[in-house]
């Protein structure tokens, strides 16, 4: 600023603007606006001509930009260190995702199962909560609409039978519209899929326990069922081939009549 030595109304000299702005200094200056103002005031205080003032101002802005960039680089480095520290201490927290840490030591399959179980329980609970939230919203909407109907000035007195009928009449179309909504379908699918994953892991753990005790397991039954199925299919194919052969022979003997099939 070009200083003419004039006094301001509040008694401060314009040459003291730097000091005056400094009185407002604070640690909270995330955009660097205040620092830029102080740096600019300081530069302008030294200027004697308008051209000198402009040059000084441009230099002040460039200097503040450089300072900010340097600070930004320092901040990036600090944040990177902080992030690494957080990741290192994350396993100590209860909501840590076990899959973030590799299995170490013996029984890696069991470790994987137990990790999967904790994650799948979380996913299932979240999916269930999500679905129940949707159901609750629907029920509240239906109740609000029923209440509005009951509170209407011209509403007839309701006996229990009529009340039940009105409830069904209000809730049924809203339920069917809700069921047809893509977000409802997505939530139901998420819940079923989460339940399937959880149940598969629970079954595997239960099977491990049973097999450890020398008892039959569902996994063992599945193996038998799969083997039976392979034999059944083989037999069916062989029977079909045999029938085709018989049909061909019949055709040769009788021609293509209805009885020959």
Name the residues that contact another protein, by CB under 8 A: 164-165, 168, 171-172, 175-176, 179-180, 185-186, 188-190, 192-193, 195-197, 199-200, 203, 218, 221-222, 224-226, 228-229, 232-233, 236-237, 240, 243, 258-259, 261
Smallest gap from residue 75 Cβ to another protein (A): 43
Neighbours of 64 (CB within 10 A): 19
Smallest gap from residue 122 Cβ to another protein (A): 18
Smallest gap from residue 209 Cβ to another protein (A): 17
Smallest gap from residue 222 Cβ to another protein (A): 7
The residue (of 70 and 236) whose beta carbon lies closer to another protein is 236
Cite the DSSP H helix spans in the chain.
Answer: 17-22, 33-46, 50-89, 108-151, 160-179, 182-212, 218-254
The residue (of 54 and 240) whose beta carbon lies closer to another protein is 240
Using CA atoms, how far apart are residues 173 and 132, in angstroms rounded to an integer?
19
The residue (of 221 and 248) whose beta carbon lies closer to another protein is 221
Residue with tokens 């460039």: 62
**DSSP codes joined into one string, 138-157:** HHHHHHHHHHHHHHSTTPPP
Smallest gap from residue 154 Cβ to another protein (A): 25
The residue (of 40 and 201) whose beta carbon lies closer to another protein is 201
Using CA atoms, how far apart are residues 261 and 251, in angstroms rounded to an integer?
8
The residue (of 88 and 226) whose beta carbon lies closer to another protein is 226
Token digits of residue 110: 């069991």
Token digits of residue 239: 């029977």
Token digits of residue 260: 């020959």
Neighbours of 95 (CB within 10 A): 6
């Amino acid at each position: 600023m070009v200083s003419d030595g004039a006094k301001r109304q509040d008694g401060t000299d314009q040459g003291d603007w730097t000091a005056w702005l400094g009185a407002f200094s604070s640690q909270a200056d995330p955009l660097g606006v205040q620092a830029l103002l102080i740096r600019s005031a300081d530069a302008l205080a030294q200027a004697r001509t308008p051209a000198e003032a402009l040059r000084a101002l441009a230099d002040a802005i460039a200097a503040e930009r450089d300072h900010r960039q340097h600070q930004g680089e320092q901040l990036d480095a600090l944040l990177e260190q902080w992030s690494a520290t957080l990741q290192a201490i994350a396993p100590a927290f209860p909501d840590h995702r076990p899959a973030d840490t590799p299995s170490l030591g013996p029984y890696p399959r069991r470790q994987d199962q137990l990790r999967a179980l904790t994650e799948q329980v979380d996913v299932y609970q979240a999916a269930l909560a999500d679905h129940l939230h949707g159901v609750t919203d629907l029920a509240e909407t239906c109740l609000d609409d029923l209440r509005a109907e009951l509170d209407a000035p011209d509403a007839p007195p309701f006996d229990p039978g009529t009340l039940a009928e009105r409830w069904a009449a209000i809730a049924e179309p809203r339920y069917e519209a809700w069921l047809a909504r893509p977000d409802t379908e997505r939530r139901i699918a998420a819940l079923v899929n989460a339940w399937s994953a959880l149940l598969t892991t629970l079954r595997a753990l239960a099977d491990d326990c049973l097999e450890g005790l020398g008892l039959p397991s569902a996994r063992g039954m599945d193996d038998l069922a799969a083997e039976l199925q392979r034999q059944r299919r083989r037999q069916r194919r062989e029977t079909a081939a045999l029938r085709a052969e018989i049909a061909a022979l019949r055709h040769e003997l009788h021609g293509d009549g209805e009885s020959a099939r």
